[in-house]
Structure 1
Amino acid sequence: MRLTWKFVDSQSDPDFIVAPGERLSWPRTLGLGAQHVVAMFGATFLVPVLTGFPPATTLLFSGVGTVVFLVITGNRLPSYLGSSFSVVAPVTAAVAAQGTGSALGGIVAVGVLLMVVGAVVQLGGTRWLDTALPPVVTGAIVALIGFSLAPSAKTNFDDGPLLGSVTLVLLVAVLAFFRGMIGRLAIFLAVATGYGLALLLGEVDTTGIAKAAWIGLPDFQTPAFDLAVLPMFLPAVIALVAENIGHVKSVGQMTRTDMNPLMGRALAADGFATALAGFGGGSATTTYAENIGVMAATRVYSTAAYWVAAAVAITLSLCPKVGAVISAVPPGVLGGATVVLYGLVGILGVRIWLTNRVDFSTPVNQLTAAIPLIIGIADFTWHAGGLTFTGIALGSIAALLVYHGMRFLSVRGGTPLTPSMESA
């Protein structure tokens, strides 16, 4: 790995891009790095606030994870690793059932499994993934992860309907009226405005902020491994696989470069970063669409900007005052933001179906999507011995069983899976 970049000047050519191995002047690169931090900040800090994890710790491992990602991918794949919303539901359930340690153990397990997937992909390619996890399955799992969080969004919203309404309306308005960087900052701007209103109304407890030091280490926690909660985290692995594959393909398309040889490394890197975060008290990490948006808007794909972003995030994490400010975000503000964010996670699953042109005129695709969504949204629960399978886990298992089971039976029975349920 080489930590050197070829200096290039920006040009008026509309097709001009700054490649991963290139950079603009250092002042502009520093500015772009800070821009990436601001873009990811709104969504990244919401995850620890929603799960009860220390925000500063999550921010630290977000920056460290980005460094890990850049190193493992040979400094060739630009990406910022922010907090993943795919673990919010299992972490919340695990904390309620067994405590924070068990939730961190689940995050470590997610990271380890993701590293295993990355190693297999690096050695054997992605074809086996396409067979085991076709788009109809991954789309269903990602969708049910988002939609199953609807009750959590409602609970937060009900704790402060005025603040939630203001945050929600502003978030939608910013996304509707603005493009480019301002649009990418919609979450940050909406939450900051809601926070400001809460301060004016006296609905923010500032005691912790006043007591927090300006400089200090984040709070670290250690994981505990409880077999009973691990099944809850399995769907998160599939979601992270889908997110990382989408990121690699997106960067490849934008830079007009074949990034597929880095697919296995990207998966393993995110897995390592997630496991590392779990061992220290941080949340699972993932590649961020917000930062892809910044790259698309600026046409600068230099990994140098991401080294700067990682350094800024780590520096901010060493200020306990920042973590205290984040922790004090009122539930109503979170409710307004999560109505949008959780919904968008669900719609991401729908987008996977649309992008891959999943044919929903066939029974196998209809049932692979329909059954898991009902199981996940209704939060079916099954206790088997010492294990607890929640709606997300059961829905994900159902997606796999329905798809592969129906295909197997159709082949054995000699009956093709033809369109027969168009009106269903």
Structure 2
Amino acid sequence: MENITLTPMRKGIVGVQFLFVAFGATVLVPLLVGLSPATALFTAGLGTFIFHLVTKGKVPIFLGSSFAFIAPIIAASQQWGMPGTLAGIAGVALVYFIVSALIRWQGKKLLDRLFPPVVIGPVIILIGLTLSGSAVNMAKENWTLAFVSLISAILVLTFARGLLKLVPVVCGLIVGYIVALCMGVVDLSGVAAAPWFALPPSIAHLQIPQFAWEPFLYMIPVAIAPVIEHIGDVYVVGAVAQKDFVKDPGLHRTMLGDGLACLAASFLGGPPVTTYSEVTGAMSITKVTHPQVIRIAALTAIVFSVIGKLSAFLQSIPSAVLGGIMLLLFGTIANVGIQNLVQNKVNLNVTRNTIIISVTLTLGIGGAVLNFGSFSLGGIGLSAVVSVLLNLLLPHDKDEEAAPSLIEEKSVES
């Protein structure tokens, strides 16, 4: 389907369809961290419009709630409350601004030097693994519901075809919710009491971030992985659309647009928004890459955000249903990190690579925390900083780099 043959009606249908592809992930993040799903939909739509404005309307990318920040937001909200956490989200925007300026100044080579696969892979693995405890705690509230949701999502992911294969989270939530209704464990009183139309709560009662250095600096290292993912998504979208968005409008513009969207989300009480690979997958199937279609999806997200009944319905989903989805979802995130190492042929038989990966994972999974007066750095943030420093400081051994990996040695022997 070529973009020039799309009628306005077709653009509208495909645009709404694209939102549904991203819908499950976009609303799941705020549900897990204690934010409003309606606010997340609003900031996703607004953020996408900001991104398209900065990129001159050329790049067909949808921005939605980022899974990378689930654990940091939960941890930050426990230490500094949600107003302080929102200030931390503003720190994420700062990272995008700095990277945008670096790309404009030095090009992508500097990023490759600071954040090679041996750094990014373990950080992405940690994003998934550090959340495993939360997934189990939510699932154990009702293991029946958790396994129903999990199995449903797995079946869709394994056997479904076409666009249905792109929404296993939504399918798992729907099946789990229906079973929960049959079991009588869903409280619908909030849905009945909710108005049909209402502004998202954090927008109706504007929740201004309370600036503090601690959450601000805590969130900054966590943004490393989404920044690198952003670069990869821009390349993938360019390949699907058969255009070079890295040159026109430029990677510095896409990064700046994402940063401004994150900043807007922080001031409106929403989670950070990043590029969505799910929608990119939908574009590759439908062959529809017109930016106008993505903007229709963004407008639909904003419309959905003011439907009060929808927000109340989403918040009525039992924790065990969400926990079942998380059992698959967070493991999948960790798997993406492993794929990053494998696809980039990171040699695990090289001593420096082994050191970087081992220390990064141990610090993150072990929950190490460094305290500097009233400021503390721990979890994924600390691991990311240590990983970058080790990569910069450890010497490269040419003989070791040339050595075959264990996998290659076994292949030769066989």
Q: TM-score normalised by the shorter chain: which range applies?
A: over 0.9
Residues of 1 paired with 2:406 and 2:165: CA distance? 38
1:228-267 Cα offsets, whole Å, 9 max, x none, are: 2334312331112112111111012222222212211111
1:209 equivalent among 159, 183, 191: 191
Q: Do 1:359 and 1:365's aligned partners in 2 also have CA atoms closer than 8 Å?
A: yes
Confirm whether residue 240 of structure 1 aligns to residue 222 of structure 2: no
Which residue of structure 2 lines up, in the alignment, with residue 57 of structure 1? 39
Letter in 1 for 2:231: I
Which residue of structure 2 lines up, in the alignment, with residue 252 of structure 1? 238
Unpaired stretches in structure 1, ≥5 consecutive residues: 1-9, 11-16
Letter in 2 for 1:47: V
Q: Do 1:231 and 1:388's aligned partners in 2 also have CA atoms closer than 8 Å?
A: no
Confirm whether residue 200 of structure 1 aligns to residue 188 of structure 2: no
Comparing 161-170 and 113-122, the one that deviates more: 113-122
2:303 equivalent among 298, 309, 315: 315
Residues of 1 paired with 2:170 and 2:221: CA distance? 28
Which residue of structure 1 lines up, in the alignment, with residue 117 of structure 2? 135
Residues of 1 paired with 2:75 and 2:143: CA distance? 24
Which residue of structure 1 lines up, in the alignment, with residue 270 of structure 2? 282
Residues of 2 paired with 1:256 and 1:51: CA distance? 37
2:345 equivalent among 341, 347, 357: 357
Which residue of structure 1 lines up, in the alignment, with residue 208 of structure 2? 222
Confirm whether residue 162 of structure 1 aligns to residue 148 of structure 2: no
1:282-334 Cα offsets, whole Å, 9 max, x none, are: 11001111101100111111111111101110001011211111112111011
Aligned CA distance change for structure 1 residues 227 and 415 (closer, same or farther; 3 Å): farther
Q: By how many angstroms is 1:271 displaced?
A: 0.9
Which residue of structure 2 lines up, in the alignment, with residue 24 of structure 1? 6
Q: By how many angstroms is 1:376 displaced?
A: 1.1
Q: By how many angstroms is 1:422 displaced?
A: 5.2
Q: Pairwise CA RMSD of aligned residues?
A: 1.9
Letter in 1 for 2:79: A
Comparing 220-229 and 94-103, the one that deviates more: 220-229
Which residue of structure 2 lines up, in the alignment, with residue 377 of structure 1? 365
Residues of 1 paired with 2:61 and 2:195: CA distance? 31
Aligned CA distance change for structure 1 residues 23 and 143 (closer, same or farther; 3 Å): farther
Confirm whether residue 395 of structure 1 aligns to residue 377 of structure 2: no
Letter in 1 for 2:240: M
Q: Do 1:78 and 1:302's aligned partners in 2 also have CA atoms closer than 8 Å?
A: yes
Confirm whether residue 147 of structure 1 aligns to residue 129 of structure 2: yes
Q: Do 2:351 and 2:400's aligned partners in 1 also have CA atoms closer than 8 Å?
A: no
Give the 5 Å matches for 1:165-204.
Answer: 165-204=147-186
Q: Secondary structure at the match of 1:215?
A: coil
Residues of 1 paired with 2:23 and 2:199: CA distance? 19
Q: Do 2:222 and 2:381's aligned partners in 1 also have CA atoms closer than 8 Å?
A: no
Which residue of structure 2 lines up, in the alignment, with residue 404 of structure 1? 392
Which residue of structure 1 lines up, in the alignment, with residue 257 of structure 2? 269
Q: By how many angstroms is 1:401 displaced?
A: 2.1
Q: Secondary structure at the match of 2:64?
A: strand
Q: By how many angstroms is 1:368 displaced?
A: 1.4
Letter in 1 for 2:163: M
Residues of 2 paired with 1:362 and 1:383: CA distance? 32
Give the 5 Å matches for 1:66-81.
Answer: 66-81=48-63
Q: Do 2:262 and 2:272's aligned partners in 1 also have CA atoms closer than 8 Å?
A: yes
Task: Quote the sequence identity (%).
Answer: 32
Letter in 1 for 2:158: A
Q: Do 2:347 and 2:404's aligned partners in 1 also have CA atoms closer than 8 Å?
A: no
Using structure 1 for the length normalisation, give the TM-score: 0.90
Aligned CA distance change for structure 1 residues 235 and 147 (closer, same or farther; 3 Å): farther
1:159-203 Cα offsets, whole Å, 9 max, x none, are: 121111000011001111012201011111111111121122121
Aligned CA distance change for structure 1 residues 311 and 23 (closer, same or farther; 3 Å): farther
Residues of 1 paired with 2:317 and 2:85: CA distance? 22
Which residue of structure 2 lines up, in the alignment, with residue 107 of structure 1? 89
Which residue of structure 2 lines up, in the alignment, with residue 325 of structure 1? 313
Residues of 1 paired with 2:343 and 2:295: CA distance? 31
Q: Secondary structure at the match of 1:60?
A: helix
Structure 1 segments (4+ residues) deviating >3 Å:
414-423
Residues of 1 paired with 2:386 and 2:107: CA distance? 26
Q: Do 1:148 and 1:378's aligned partners in 2 also have CA atoms closer than 8 Å?
A: no
Using structure 2 for the length normalisation, give the TM-score: 0.93
Which residue of structure 2 lines up, in the alignment, with residue 4 of structure 1? none
Residues of 1 paired with 2:393 and 2:38: CA distance? 45
Q: Do 2:347 and 2:401's aligned partners in 1 also have CA atoms closer than 8 Å?
A: no
Q: Secondary structure at the match of 2:40?
A: helix
Q: Do 2:368 and 2:379's aligned partners in 1 also have CA atoms closer than 8 Å?
A: yes
Which residue of structure 2 lines up, in the alignment, with residue 7 of structure 1? none
Which residue of structure 1 lines up, in the alignment, with residue 412 of structure 2? none
Aligned CA distance change for structure 1 residues 147 and 211 (closer, same or farther; 3 Å): same
1:349-382 Cα offsets, whole Å, 9 max, x none, are: 1222222222222111122112111221222222
Give the 5 Å matches for 1:413-424.
Answer: 419=403
Q: By how many angstroms is 1:389 displaced?
A: 1.6
Q: Secondary structure at the match of 1:213?
A: coil
Residues of 2 paired with 1:419 and 1:378: CA distance? 31
Residues of 2 paired with 1:246 and 1:180: CA distance? 23
Unpaired stretches in structure 2, ≥5 consecutive residues: 408-414
1:6-56 Cα offsets, whole Å, 9 max, x none, are: xxxx4xxxxxx53xxx46111111110011110001111010000100111
Letter in 2 for 1:265: R
Q: Do 1:23 and 1:304's aligned partners in 2 also have CA atoms closer than 8 Å?
A: no
Residues of 1 paired with 2:404 and 2:19: CA distance? 49
Confirm whether residue 35 of structure 1 aligns to residue 21 of structure 2: no
Q: By how many angstroms is 1:208 displaced?
A: 1.6
